[in-house]
Structure 1
Amino acid sequence: MNFSSSGSNSTPVVVRDDLKTAIMKNMITVTLCVSINYVNATLVYTFMRHEFFKRNPRYILFIHLVINDIILMTVLTLIQVLSYVVYTLHVWLCMTLLIFALFSNFNNPMTLAVMAIECYVAVCFPLRHSQIITVKKTYITIALIWLISAQSFFPDVLVSLTTEHLDFFQSRVFCQNTTVFRIPGILLKNIIYNAVLMATVWLTLIYTYFKILFTAKSASSDATKARNTVLLHSFQLSLSMLTYMYTPLTTGLTYLFPQSVLAIRFAVIIIVSVMPRLVSPLVYGIRDKTFRKYLKKHLIFPMNFSGSGSNSTPVVVRDDLKTVIMKNVITVTLCLSINYINATLVYIFMKHEILKMNPRYILDIHLVINDIILMTLLTLIQVLLFQRASLTDG
């Protein structure tokens, strides 16, 4: 992520962090990614395990939102880590990663709008809700969301494929939209498309909120809960819109603090790309009582067994939800952090022939590789035991 240029047509200049800072930034990013994706993956697993959720359009839309968050977090983290390791990517690879990221980035605001409409129908038309909002219509709506998202950037891909020389796709660039999609007019088209999309979503949220608000004055607590949910959707959408503020924020802060350009870019990326992904687990995974009840069953820490004797039947001792999340995040984070450093050592060894000719370094790398294997297997066993305990309990 650390590139700068003096003009739109100038060659990007690499501005690199020192090794200690690069490792720290990547550990923070990977840790946040793994922590958020762990919780989101557990939400998806909980959804898939219970037919009740699969028959409820509200939870179907929520899981669609969560899956998009997982895709976006994974792709953005992968691009950042690769930018530190290899600095530049082949255009075809960068374009492939960006397609997944753009899909998820466009899907989320439209999904939030549809979820707000579902809340509006549930409160304002409770007797007709089951006829208006059905599972079949929900999946059709999701398909339309993906189709609309495709319309936003697939024309850019097709134009690039027909106008750019084949050598361009084999060249290496810093992975971002402006270096891959270089056709004049694309930037203006994207600004207009984003503005229309965001205006439509915001109008939908505002309309549904006030309709629910007026209904809530004389209705049950369900209307108040729906109103608060729409407010959370609005907050989540506001965070999602920060993505479009990346360039203005980075440019403005860099102008004010030119000596901190690398720190500014890293902080802005965390704020605009990572923070919005924290909201989804809170809205339904923790806040929703029904989902929380089932979620606890699949967040059992599997290593907590006790018995009164060697032949006694093990008794499962469960942690509370907060402790379970903390323990599992710590375990996976430690594994990834240690393996990241060890993998960097292996990469350095493989890149330099002088190290390969020294028996001392060969033995050191052999030790490091064994550490990677051991850490990975131990963590994998714990995760599998966790899933096994969940299946047995469920």
Structure 2
Amino acid sequence: MSNVSQSNTSVERQYQEFLEDVITFTLCTIISCVFLFINGTMLFTLRSKSVFRDTCRYILLFNLLLADTVQLSLSMVLFLLVVCRIKLTYPLCGSVTSLSNLTNVISPLTLMVMSLERCVAVCLPLRHAVIITITNIRMAIVALWALSSLHNLTRIALLLDFPFGDLETLQMERFCSDFAMLLGPSSKDYDNVFTGCLFVSAGLIVISSYVGVIIAARSASVDKSSALKARNTLLLHLVQLCLSLSSTVHNPILGPISKTITRVEFNRLQRFLYIILIISPRCLSSLIYGLRDQTVRPVLLHHLRC
């Protein structure tokens, strides 16, 4: 009777876990697909008219949305692999997480450039057309992707110190994630230092730009309406930066907690944090910037209605 009772409890627990997997899979897939459609429509909108293609701030917005859309897609793929209990090999997981990390770094870097562009527009209005040109913006975007690529190459170089030759197989024991590919203390220390420096630098630039706009707004030579719009835009940049930062604390939060709770509780916490810290920030970019902009909004709504 005791064995039968334990067997029934085990079957019931497995059924409950399966039901949670199905609900999580359905919920996250629907949410991600909806916002991938919105982000894709927003990207199409920013390339549909010459006024968007030839304006510097819309070029930067396109770069930000592109990075967020790719990041959302890859995060969704990794999450579904965990839900379906599929484990990858180290080379395949490294390729996916490298692309994910590449686009993850692009977002705060782009927000830095967008903040500087708004600051120049308000504080140096007479020189804005000379400093902020399409050529300079495109060169800045190339520099952002180059810096992010250099960061990825450094992470890959640190992985070479890991003794892959001593492994019996390249099949991973854990599910694929960016945290799982931080093999060795050097990789973890470098990733923590780079993430900290990146977001401290981005935060200082956004806050400094905001302070500069406030100071310039008190000057009689500055258009008050333009300064107010720039100030609100910089506040949105700061909010978006905080949202981008939230995705980087996902793995550091899960690491220590995984050693103190059961596997079932850990899986539930991981799904909850994934929705709050990974999906939500990547879904809000198009809503924050697209629906707020008076030029983009009517075109975006027109395309969303097909």
After TM superposition, the score normalised by the length of structure 2 is 0.86
- Identify if the C-alpha distance between structure 1 residues 121 and 197 changes in structure 2 by more than 3 Å, giving closer, same or farther: same
**Aligned-partner residue type, residue 209 of structure 1:** Y
Distance (Å, rounded) in 1 between the aligned partners of 2:82 and 2:166: 21
Counterpart mapping for 1:348-359 below 5 A:
none
- Identify if the C-alpha distance between structure 1 residues 17 and 203 changes in structure 2 by more than 3 Å, giving closer, same or farther: farther
Counterpart for residue 234 of structure 1: 238
Counterpart for residue 303 of structure 2: 298
In angstroms, what is the RMSD of aligned CA positions? 2.4
Tell whether 2:56 aligns with 1:57. yes
Contact 1:229 1:283 survives alignment (8 Å):
no
Counterpart mapping for 1:85-96 below 5 A:
85-96=84-95
Structure 2: gaps of 5 or more residues: 1-13
Counterpart mapping for 1:321-340 below 5 A:
none
Distance (Å, rounded) in 1 between the aligned partners of 2:260 and 2:165: 41
Distance (Å, rounded) in 2 between the aligned partners of 1:46 and 1:101: 24
Structure 1: gaps of 5 or more residues: 1-14, 301-385, 387-394
Counterpart mapping for 1:92-171 below 5 A:
92-161=91-160, 164-165=163-164, 170-171=170-171
Per the TM alignment, residue 32 of structure 1 is displaced from its structure 2 partner at its CA by: 1.6
Per the TM alignment, residue 127 of structure 1 is displaced from its structure 2 partner at its CA by: 1.6
Contact 1:253 1:264 survives alignment (8 Å):
no
Contact 2:159 2:187 survives alignment (8 Å):
no
Among 228, 250, 254, the alignment partner of 2:254 is 250
Counterpart for residue 260 of structure 1: 265
Contact 2:38 2:304 survives alignment (8 Å):
no
Counterpart for residue 172 of structure 2: 172
Among 285, 289, 297, the alignment partner of 1:284 is 289
Higher RCO (C-alpha 8 Å, min separation 6): 2
Counterpart for residue 18 of structure 2: 19
SS at match of 1:288: coil
Contact 2:250 2:277 survives alignment (8 Å):
yes
Counterpart for residue 9 of structure 2: none
Contact 1:53 1:60 survives alignment (8 Å):
yes
Contact 1:46 1:294 survives alignment (8 Å):
yes
Per the TM alignment, residue 215 of structure 1 is displaced from its structure 2 partner at its CA by: 2.1
Distance (Å, rounded) in 2 between the aligned partners of 1:156 and 1:31: 33
Q: Deviations over 1:232-269 (max 9, x none)?
A: 11011111111232244336766887573222111111
Contact 1:249 1:268 survives alignment (8 Å):
no
Distance (Å, rounded) in 2 between the aligned partners of 1:16 and 1:251: 27
- Identify if the C-alpha distance between structure 1 residues 256 and 212 changes in structure 2 by more than 3 Å, giving closer, same or farther: farther
Counterpart for residue 8 of structure 2: none
Distance (Å, rounded) in 1 between the aligned partners of 2:266 and 2:236: 33
Tell whether 2:196 aligns with 1:195. yes
Distance (Å, rounded) in 1 between the aligned partners of 2:198 and 2:75: 22
Distance (Å, rounded) in 2 between the aligned partners of 1:19 and 1:110: 40
SS at match of 1:185: helix
What is the aligned residue count?
Answer: 287
Contact 2:179 2:251 survives alignment (8 Å):
no
Counterpart for residue 303 of structure 1: none
Counterpart for residue 212 of structure 2: 211
- Percent identical pairs in the alignment equals 26
**Aligned-partner residue type, residue 245 of structure 1:** V
**Aligned-partner residue type, residue 172 of structure 1:** M
Distance (Å, rounded) in 2 between the aligned partners of 1:297 and 1:243: 31
SS at match of 1:172: coil
Per the TM alignment, residue 221 of structure 1 is displaced from its structure 2 partner at its CA by: 1.0
Q: Deviations over 1:206-245 (max 9, x none)?
A: 1100111122235321110110110011011111111232
- Identify if the C-alpha distance between structure 1 residues 165 and 106 changes in structure 2 by more than 3 Å, giving closer, same or farther: same
**Aligned-partner residue type, residue 198 of structure 1:** F
Distance (Å, rounded) in 2 between the aligned partners of 1:82 and 1:16: 19
- Mark the structure with the bigger radius of gyration: 1
